[in-house]
Amino acid sequence: MALAIDVQSLNKHFGDKHVVRDLSLQVKEGEIFGFLGPNGSGKTTSIRMLCGLLKPDSGKGYCLGYDVIRDSDAIKRQVGYMTQKFSLWEDLTIAENLEFVARMFEMKNMRQVVDRALEDLGLTSRRNQLAGALSGGWKQRLALASCLLHQPKLLLLDEPTAGVDPKARRDFWEEIHRLSSTGITVLASTHYMDEAERCHRLAYISYGRLLASGTAEQVIAAQHLYTWAIGGEDVQRHSDTLRRLPGVDQVATFGTILHVSGGNPDILGASLKKFGRENQFSIEQVLPSLEDAFISLMRDSQDQFQEKP
C-alpha cells in the first residue's frame, strides 16, 4: 500500500532543547494512525513538521509525495490541520468562519462549498450562531468542517477531542472512520485509550523518541507483560504493598479492581496468589490492556527536560 507519510530521522531543537529525536514514521494512505504520548513528548512538534508548519533541523522524507524540507507550501495545500486549541474566530458565525477559510484557499463556488460543509457536519441549523457561543462538541465539528473545506488528502488532528463529552467524542470518531473510508488519511494524537483502539495502527512517542509502533495488539505484545486483576473490598488501599511484591513492575487502578503487571509470570503469579489468600482478594489472570502497555512504556522512559536533583 502506498504511503501518505514516509519520514526518517527527523530532528527538531528549540534552543538547547532537543524536542524530537530521530523520528521515523510511515503512515499508509487511507489509514487512521494514532499518535500517543505524555504531555510535552513532542507530538505537536512532530505533527507541525509533517504538515509544513515547522522545518526539521535534519532528517528526510515525504508527506503526500512532497519533500518535507523543500515543499512545505505544497504540503499545506493538501493537508487539513486541526489544532489542539480551537483556533477559529469566536466573534464570527459558523458560516462566516467557513467563508473566511474558503477565501484563504481561494476556492471557487465558495457558497456551495460552505453549504456542503455545513450539511456534512450537521451544522446547517446553527450556521448563524456565533462560534464563541458553541459548546466544546460543536466547536469541534466546526473546526473539522474548516479542515475539510479544501478537500485535503491528509488530516492531522492534534488531540481533537480534549474537553468534549463522551457522546461528542464518539460521534467525532464515527465521522473520522467515515472520512477514512473515502480514502482520506488521518493522523490523530490522543490521550484516550478507547480512541487509540479505534485507530488502525499506533505510534507511541515519549520525550522526543518513538518507542513503539504497530497495531494495538502488536504494541501490547511487544511489552511482554503478564497481568492479573485483583478485586476485593478496599483493594486500592493495598497498592503500595503490591508494588513491593516480587515480580511486580506496575500497579494501575481500573474502576474497583487493580491491574498488576510484570515480566516474569511465575514469580508474579506466585506473589499475587499468596497475597490474595492472605487478604481474601480475588486474583484472576487477564490479558494486558493497551493502557497497561502505555503505562509500561511511560515507566521506562525519562523526561530529558526534567531538572536533575
Q: Which residue has the cell 473546526?
A: 143
C-alpha cell at 58: 535534519
Mention every residue, 6+ apart, whose C-beta is less than 8 A from residue 139.
Answer: 86, 88, 131
Which amino acid is located at 74 in the chain?
Answer: A
pLDDT at 19: 92
- Burial class of residue 306, CB neighbours in 10 A (0-12, 13-18, 19+): exposed
CA-CA distance, 98 to 275, in Å (whole number)?
Answer: 60
Q: Which residue has the cell 470518531?
A: 173
CA-CA distance, 48 to 72, in Å (whole number)?
Answer: 10
The CA R_g of the chain, rounded to the nearest whole Å, is: 22
- Torsion angle of alpha carbons 156, 34, 120, 49, nearest 10°? 0
CA-CA distance, 9 to 209, in Å (whole number)?
Answer: 10
Handedness of CA 212, 259, 174, 150 (dihedral sign): negative
pLDDT at 80: 93
Q: What is the pLDDT along the chain (309 residues), one digit of tens a residue?
A: 699 999 999 999 999 999 999 999 999 999 999 999 888 888 889 988 988 889 999 999 999 999 999 999 999 999 999 988 888 999 999 999 999 999 988 888 889 999 999 998 899 999 999 999 998 889 989 999 999 999 999 999 988 887 778 888 888 899 999 999 999 999 999 888 888 999 999 999 988 889 999 999 999 999 999 999 999 988 989 999 999 999 999 999 988 899 999 999 999 999 999 999 999 999 999 999 999 998 888 876 655 545 444
C-alpha cell at 63: 508527506
Domains assigned to the chain: 3-217 (3.40.50.300), 224-287 (3.30.70.100)
CA-CA distance, 7 to 24, in Å (whole number)?
Answer: 5
Q: How many CB atoms lie within 10 A of CB 193?
A: 17
CA count, 13 A, side-chain hemisphere, 4: 23
CA-CA distance, 69 to 247, in Å (whole number)?
Answer: 47
Tell me the sheet residues that pair with 26. Answer: 6
